[in-house]
Structure 1
């Protein structure tokens, strides 16, 4: 192999290793989110929307071409907005049921 080919192989291997590490980190974070959602008592429908959005983000077929991640990010942001609303509802219900609300 010549120098250019060797350099290209090394660079591609480094990029592949970086993507592998990033994928493992992302998978660990998704597992942590899954565990936190399970422990928080978030309803199944809200979790389903979140995980469907995550799957769509990684799905190779998109509504818009892949260099434009607006549809992917929009789906994830919509799911996170839904989760946030459900979490606020749960906190409000728990605060009222255990008598810890201040009544303001």
Structure 2
């Protein structure tokens, strides 16, 4: 492969990572409604805001053309919020009530 082909591949990968980070960021923002639940611990609420601030801030562990660190922080926030919400919700019986 010549230099132009490598550049094209790098641009496509960078765009794919940017789209993945944007989708996860949107999911984290949609998950914000879980913060209204009073039973969710403050740690999980704080993790939501840390993930949002880290994603939009210019300071990153890995420079911004590579969004792997942003994706990791967003996935961690999503999993934490969903686990906290599941722990707070009462367990449903076999009849769905």
TM-score over 0.5 (shorter chain): yes
Counterpart check, 1:53 vs 2:45: no
Number of residues of Structure 1 aligned to a counterpart in Structure 2: 68
* Conserved? CA contact 2:31–2:81, under 8 Å: no
Larger helix percent? 1
Question: Structure 1: which 4+ aligned runs deviate by more than 4 Å?
Answer: none
Task: Tell me, in whole angstroms, the C-alpha distance in 1 between the residues paired with 2:36 and 2:49.
Answer: 16
* Higher CA-based Rg: 1
**Structure 2: 5+ residue runs without aligned partners?**
1-25
Change (3 A) 1:80 1:89: same
**Structure 1: 5+ residue runs without aligned partners?**
1-25
1:49-88 to structure 2, matched below 5 A, reads 49-88=47-86
Q: Root-mean-square deviation (CA), in Å?
A: 2.5
